[in-house]
Amino acid sequence: MSLGNEILLCKARLTDKKKRLEDMELRADSYIGILRDIIDPYGGHFTNFDMDKAMLIMADFHKIWKEAHELKNMIAKMESDLNG
C-alpha cells in the first residue's frame, strides 16, 4: 500500500472516531438531562429520588465517559501522527 493510501485510510479512521465521539457526547448530554430529572434538588425530599434508576444510568454514563476519554486520546495521537 502506498503512503498516500495509508494517509487516506488514517484520515478516514480519524473521521470515524470523531463521529463516534460526537455520538457519545449526544448520549452523555441526554444522560445528564435524565439524571437531573431524577435527582432534582427541588423535587422534594432526597429519599424520594429513584436512586436505583439513577445508578443504572450513571453506570452507563461512566462507561461512556471512560470510552470518550480513550477516544479523545486516540484522536489526538492520530492527528499528531498525521500532522507530523
pLDDT digits (tens, 9 = 90+) for 26-54: 999 999 999 999 998 888 888 999 999 99
Euclidean distance between CA atoms 27 and 65, whole angstroms: 10
Q: Which residues contact 10 (CB under 8 A, 6 or more apart)?
A: 78, 81, 82
Distances in Å between the Cα of 52 and the Cα atoms of 22, 32, 45, 47, 59 are: 28, 16, 16, 12, 11
By residue range, what is the domain housing residue 28? 3-83
Residue 61 in this model has a pLDDT that exceeds 80:
yes
| Number of domains into which the chain is organized | 1
pLDDT digits (tens, 9 = 90+) for 72-83: 999 999 999 888
Euclidean distance between CA atoms 72 and 75, whole angstroms: 5
pLDDT digits (tens, 9 = 90+) for 5-25: 888 898 999 999 999 999 999
> What pLDDT is stored for residue 80 in this prediction?
93
> What pLDDT is stored for residue 41 in this prediction?
84
